[in-house]
Chains A and B, each alone.
Chain A
Amino acid sequence: MAVTMALATATGAAECSRWSMASLKGALPSLPERCTIPTASSSSAPCGHRSLRLSVGLRKPEFQFGSFSGLSPLNPLLSLGLSESMSFEHNFTIIDNGGRVSAMRHGRKVPKLNRPPDQRKALLRGLTTQLLKHGRIKTTRARASAMRKYVDKMITLAKDGSLHKRRQALGYIYEKQIVHALFAEVPDRYGERNGGYTRIIRTLPRRGDNAPMAYIELV
């Protein structure tokens, strides 16, 4: 697609023949020459200018991958080693822990709950909504210990009580009467308590799959 744009501007610039050296040079992926093409050419197509300027800004990283299309273009490790013409600050947008990808789970604290991230977030939202609605629920131990952080967060938002915090809570909890009831009763109930608004009690495993269960309740 970038090649066709270069060809379009090249044919606009040099009207004599399609297969001139200028068109070939324009087709080759080299950045500094592409910057000067819009200023040099007096092309009559205004949309070509705009798309060229856009491509200079945004297509810059992808263009490097496109030139090495024989290898897998999305692998950051390979591209780091092979594209030596990339700028220094560009390296940080690919891996942000300095390239340290470990085979073990050391130090990773987020519980995955065997779900993709969108489902995980929805599960935790549903569980906190139900806990705030019923006061005590029975679920698996992993889910109960993963929920604690979000329940404490909701109660902390309710303790603050301002409109912004109320809207943040409304964006997380699925039922809005629960948010309004929470904001009404939390200052009396948890005014003196600093943190630790839930309690987990382990119980017998579930019969169907022997999953370890727990009650989680609001303190």
Chain B
Amino acid sequence: MARVPEPLVVGRVIGDVLDSFTPTTHMSVTYNTKLVCNGLELFPSVVTAKPRVEIQGGELRSFFTLVMTDPDCPGPSDPYLREHLHWIVTDIPGTTDAAFGREALSYEMPRPNIGIHRFVFVLFKQKRRQSINPPSSRDCFSTRSFAAENDLGLPVAAVYFNAQREGAARRR
């Protein structure tokens, strides 16, 4: 049963980062037992380490690519460095998690300086076991063109969370 991707439309993830797609695979991203739902607000201190990404769909023979980007870099009011790339993991076998894949680009801790940033996890299904070359720089990344270059097609799952700079006085 495909879940309606309305939170992604409302949060303008579909539009800024992705094109409209139908989610076929269920993906769950967990930071230290905190499950990431669309639009959840997390502290940067929570997201320092890479999350546990479980893919509950596909078969063991199918491979997936996970991309994590920040479309509001350096600030949501003027994102001239859209998007900033944080993490690429390729060749993830289905029904497992991202630790079994090949980390093409190492995980970079989110550092939102200005405003509230969205951080998007996008899952693509690979047609075959391929090697993906990571782009030269992390800035000015385009998920659409990355998918087009590596022949990945439309995404199969996406989730996003929000984060802002943790000031010294911020207490929950």
Contact = CB atoms under 8 A, between A and B. Distances in A.
Interface stretch (B43-51, B72-80, B101-109, B130-138): B72-80
A136 interface: yes
A137 interface: yes
A138 B78 CA distance: 17
A201 interface: yes
Given A201-B10, A201-B11, A215-B162, A135 B76 contact: yes
Nearest to B115: A134
B159 to A, nearest CB: 15
Nearest to B117: A136
Contacts of B115: 134-137
Nearest to A134: B115
Interface in A184-209: 185, 199, 201, 203-204, 207
Interface in B133-172: 162, 164, 172
Interface string A9-50: 000000000000000000000000000000000000000000
Given A185-B78, A201-B39, A134 B116 contact: yes
Contact of B116 (A132, A136, A185): A136
B41 A135 contact: no
B114 interface: yes
A204 B162 CA distance: 12
B78 A135 contact: yes
A135 B172 contact: no
Interface in B109-132: 114-116
B75 A134 contact: yes
Contacts of B76: 134-136, 217-218
A143 interface: no
Given A138-B116, A201-B11, A133 B162 contact: no
A207 B79 CA distance: 30
Given A201-B39, A218-B77, A134 B114 contact: yes
A85 B85 CA distance: 79
Interface string B7-43: 0001110000000000000000000000000010100
Contacts of B39: 201, 203
Contact of B114 (A135, A138, A185, A204): A135
B77 A215 contact: no
Nearest to A133: B77
Most central of A133, A135, A185, A207 by chain B CB within 10 Å: A135
Contacts of B78: 135, 185
A171 B17 CA distance: 37
B45 to A, nearest CB: 17
Interface string A81-125: 000000000000000000000000000000000000000000000
Interface string A133-172: 1111110000000000000000000000000000000000
Nearest to B75: A135
Given A201-B10, A207-B172, A215-B116, A135 B77 contact: yes
Given A203-B39, A203-B41, A207-B172, A136 B77 contact: yes
Contacts of B11: 201
A170 B79 CA distance: 24
Contacts of B116: 134, 136-138, 215, 217
Contacts of B75: 134-135
Contacts of B41: 138, 203-204
A135 B72 contact: yes
User: Which 3 A-B pairs have CB atoms at the shortest separation, nearest pair first?
Assistant: A135-B77, A135-B76, A134-B115
Interface of B: 10-12, 39, 41, 72, 75-79, 114-116, 162, 164, 172
